[in-house]
A and B are shown apart, each in its own frame.
Chain A
Amino acid sequence: MNDRPWRILVADDEPVTRELIKAALEKAGFQVFLAEDGEDALRQFSDVPCDMVLLDVNMPGLNGHQVCAHLRRQLGEEFPIVMVTGMDDMASIERAFEAGATDFIAKPINWALIGHRVRYLFRGCQVLHDLHAANRRHMAILDALRAVGLQLSLDDFGTGYSSLSYLKRLPLNNLKVDQSFVRGLPDDRESLAIVRAIVSLAKNLGFTVTAEGVETADHARVLGALDCETLQGYFIDKPMPAEHLPAALTRQWRREDLS
């Protein structure tokens, strides 16, 4: 948003409430436009685009829910639409969210608070907008990395920030099983069950699986039996400078030839 004050369109068929909302929001530094009913709100919005719409639910003609649904289709999911509705009317609050309302303000309106409430709503919408923009940017970067031939792995799967929803959202090639699950192998039943489940999940989604923290021959054997195709850890080798890698790989091949 830029330097001009935020514009709010307020639709209420009841002139006293309309005037009070206008006064309260202007006091809080917003620019306010008033509409007398639903049709008037849609007309005014197409003339002067606003940054937020406040809709009374109970208006003759097009009611608040209908106006809300219409604006939501037109403006996309981020635009703040706030319903103003009676505290006692739970059904109308539920209908408001079905119609795509961002939030609701309960009547009787607290005049000292409404300005702050609207400011917080703007802030929340701005944060959400920035978050969506950042997500789109990050996805574009991941897609570009894959396009130049890199493979993408999700690290430490099963702990911390690695959520199942990433498996759907991110363009991954590989899952890395967190070492805390590998450490308990082969004796710990829970670890075994979790690793088996992660491997199966990865296969079903078309990803390869890497186990982290493989430190013993027992780890390697069990992971091989569980169909985990790549291993990482001290059992394979310690981290090393790049120039030592060819010799280490040669050693590795010899060891495999012997076994």
Chain B
Amino acid sequence: MHATPKDIRDPQAGPAPIDRKVLDQYREIDPSGGPGLAHRIVRIYIDSAAETLRQIEQAIAGRDPEALRQATHSLKSSTASIGAMSLADLFRELEAMAKAARIDDAAVVFDEARNEYERVLVALRDLLAEAP
């Protein structure tokens, strides 16, 4: 797969939001060996992550550690599956804070996660716009 501008590291923007190698490995289990499965996975992620993000926001506002844990656990795993490693790390941190009922700390990390999520979304939409 060729490098896109998003893959080129910009010191201002930090590391690339998406590790393309993670998505590339899905060619091995794609029925036709192409990027179709990876694109489907990305679309599923875009469709489902927004709702889970809303659940996280509500759990923090309602100070509900168990709801926060469940939502961050689920989003951590799917975020890692689409190769957004920095964002997955933030959700992992949030999950640990939920287990420790550290809601105020979680609110701070969540702001960071939301910014990173926006970067990830842009990268994912760029990826989908590429010819399959």
Q: Which residues of A contact B (CB under 8 A)?
A: 13-17, 19-20, 23-24, 26-27, 58, 60, 107-108, 111-112, 115
Contacts and interface: CB of A to CB of B under 8 A. Distances in A.
A111 to B, nearest CB: 5
Given A111-B28, A112-B25, A19 B40 contact: yes
Given A111-B25, A111-B26, A112-B25, A15 B70 contact: no
B48 A15 contact: yes
A15 B28 contact: no
B29 A107 contact: no
A20 B80 contact: no
Interface stretch (B6-14, B56-64, B71-79, B105-113): B71-79
Contact of B77 (A17, A23, A27): A17
Nearest to A58: B73
Question: What 6 pairs between A and B have smallest CB-CB spacing?
Answer: A16-B78, A24-B29, A27-B29, A14-B74, A23-B29, A16-B81
B127 interface: no
A24 B47 CA distance: 21
Contacts of A60: 70
A23 B26 CA distance: 9
A40 to B, nearest CB: 15
Given A23-B31, A108-B80, A16 B26 contact: no
Interface residues of B, number: 21
B25 A58 contact: no
B30 interface: yes
B70 A23 contact: no
B44 A15 contact: yes
Contacts, number: 54
Q: Is the interface of B mostly helix, strand, loop or mixed?
A: helix
B78 A107 contact: no
Contacts of B40: 19
B19 to A, nearest CB: 12
B121 interface: no
Given A58-B70, A60-B70, A107-B77, A16 B28 contact: no
22 contacts: A13-B74, A14-B77, A15-B44, A16-B48, A16-B81, A16-B82, A17-B77, A17-B78, A17-B81, A19-B40, A19-B44, A20-B26, A20-B37, A23-B37, A27-B29, A27-B30, A58-B74, A107-B77, A108-B77, A111-B25, A112-B25, A112-B28
Contacts of A115: 29
Contact of A26 (B25, B31, B41, B48): B31
A19 B36 CA distance: 12
B36 to A, nearest CB: 10
Given A16-B78, A20-B26, 14 more contacts: A14-B78, A16-B48, A16-B77, A17-B77, A19-B41, A20-B37, A20-B81, A23-B29, A23-B37, A24-B29, A27-B29, A58-B70, A111-B28, A112-B28
Nearest to B52: A14
A60 B59 CA distance: 14
Contacts of B77: 14, 16-17, 107-108
Contacts of A20: 26, 29, 37, 41, 81
Nearest to B28: A112
Nearest to A21: B29
A60 B77 CA distance: 15
A19 B74 CA distance: 14
Interface in B2-34: 25-26, 28-31
